[in-house]
Amino acid sequence: MDEAHLRARISEYREAFKINWPHPELSFATKANSTLGVLRIASEEGCHLDVASEGEFRAALLAGADPSLCHLHGNNKSRSEIEFALTNKIGKIVLDHFGEIDMISSLWKKEYATKLVIRLAPGVDPVTHAKISTGQSDTKFGFNITDGSGERALQKCLGLNLPIIGFHCHVGSQLLDPSAQEAGGALIAEFARQMEQLHGYRTQYLNVGGGLGVRYTDADVPMDILDYNRLVTTAVRNAMGRDDFTLGQEPGRSLVAESGVTLYTVGVVKSVPTSTGTRTYVAVDGGLADNPRPALYGSPYTVERAGSVSANHGQFTVSGRHCETDRLFENIALPNDLAEGDILQVLCTGAYNSSMASNYNRYPRPPVVLLSNGGDVRLIARRDSYDEMFARETA
Ligand code: LLP
C-alpha cells in the first residue's frame, strides 16, 4: 500500500466534494480495505468511516477512529451488533428494514446520541456487474421508494420518536458511468422533498453512497473526481431545491484501490495442449484466497513483471496455487523469458483484496506492507501464522 497515494487520493476527493457542497461529509467505506493501518490514515485525513458490521466497527475503534464519526450499515444487523454500536457511541445507524426499527426502539435509551438514517432503494439499475449492483427495486437492501416502504419507515420512526436525520442510498459499485449515482441522488432528494410536503419532515442529511469506478486496466476510464462530484451534487441540489443540509458520500474502491499493488513470486511455468494450440500457465504463490475478484466477478487486472523489462511478450495464463481452476488472469501479455523466481506485480489491488481474503486450502494470508510517506517501509499486517490459523479449533 502506498501511503502518499492514498492520502493524495482522499484529499483530492475531499477537496472536490468541498468545492461542490457547503456541508460535505466524506466517509471511507471500510469494507474496501479494513486493515488498521489504512483506517488510521483515512481517519487522519478527516474521513468518517462507513462500517458494515460489528467487526468493521471494532476495526475502526482499534485504528483510533472517533466512534461518533462512524456509521453502521447492514441488511441483517443482529441485536447484539446494534447494542454494541449504541453503547460504543456510534455516530449513525443506517436502518434497513422494519424489524430493525422495532429493535432499535426497544433498545433505545435517552442518553444515546446516535442518529438514524433510512436506507432507500431508489429503483435505479446501474451498468455494472450484477453481483455489485444494489440500487434497483429488487434488492435485499433498504426500503423501496416505489412501493411506499420508504415513506412508511419514516412515519414509523417519527411515531416512535426516533432521531431520524435523513436518507441514504448506494446504487452499485465500480461504476464508470455516473448516471446511476446521479439518478439515485436525485431520487432520494426528490423523496426527501416530498416527505417535507406530505409530513412536514425536514431532512438534515442525505448520503448517496459510493460506487465511483477505478482503472483496473486501460479499458476502464474512470471519471475525474471533481467532475464526478459536480454531477452528483448538482443532481441532488436540483432535485431537493436547496443545499443547506449535510450531504454524505462513502466511496471505498475509488479511495483505496489504486494505492495497492500485489506482488507474487512466479513458480512453475507450464505449457499444455489446447484445442487451438497451447496455453502457458504461470503459477504464482497466491490466488483465489488473496484475490477472489477474478473468480467472483471475472475482474481483469493489469499484470507486469517487476524489475526487468523485456521487449518480447507472449501470452500467458496466470493461475493461483489453490485446488480450483483458479485462473487469476487469462491470456495476458508477459515477457517471453518469464521464469521461476520472477516477481509479478498486479496493480490496483488496494480494494476488496485483503478485506476479502481467506485461508482457503489453509494458506496463510499474505502480509500487507505500507510504503510510508517518508519513504520507509512498514509492515501493517504480518503474514498469518499456522498457530493462529488453528487457534480456534479442537480436534
Ligand atoms: N456504501 C455502501 C452501502 C456499499 O454497500 C458499498 C459497497 C460502498 C458504500 C462502497 O462502494 P465502492 O465505492 O467501493 O464502490 N466486493 C465487491 C464490491 C462490493 C461492494 C459492496 N458495497 C468487489 O470486489 O467489486
Question: Which amino acid is it at 358?
Answer: S
C-alpha 274/C-alpha 230 separation (Å) is: 50
Q: Which ligand 1 atom sits closest to the C-alpha of 250?
A: 9
pTM (predicted TM-score): 0.97
> Whose alpha carbon is nearest atom 5 of ligand 1?
170
Instruction: Give residue 128's pLDDT.
Output: 66
Distance 171 CA to ligand 1 centre (A): 9
Whether 169 sits among the annotated catalytic residues: the reply is: no
31 — phi, psi (to 5°)?
-60, -25
Catalytic one among 70, 157, 323, 348?
Answer: 323
Instruction: Give residue 373's pLDDT.
Output: 79
The pairing of beta strand 313-319 with beta strand 327-335: antiparallel
Q: Which ligand 1 atom sits closest to the C-alpha of 168?
A: 3
Distance 321 CA to ligand 1 centre (A): 27
C-alpha 295/C-alpha 288 separation (Å) is: 7
**pLDDT tens digits for range 232-287:** 999 999 999 999 999 999 999 999 999 999 999 999 999 999 999 999 999 999 99
Which residue has 476527493 as its cell numbers?
A: 13
Mean pLDDT of the chain: 96
Decide if pLDDT at 133 tops 70: no
**pLDDT tens digits for range 186-204:** 999 999 999 999 999 999 9
Tell whether ligand 1 has an atom less than 6 A from the beta carbon of residue 132.
yes
Residues 6+ apart with CB under 8 A from 368: 1, 35, 37, 354, 379, 380, 381
Tell whether ligand 1 has an atom less than 6 A from the beta carbon of residue 92.
no
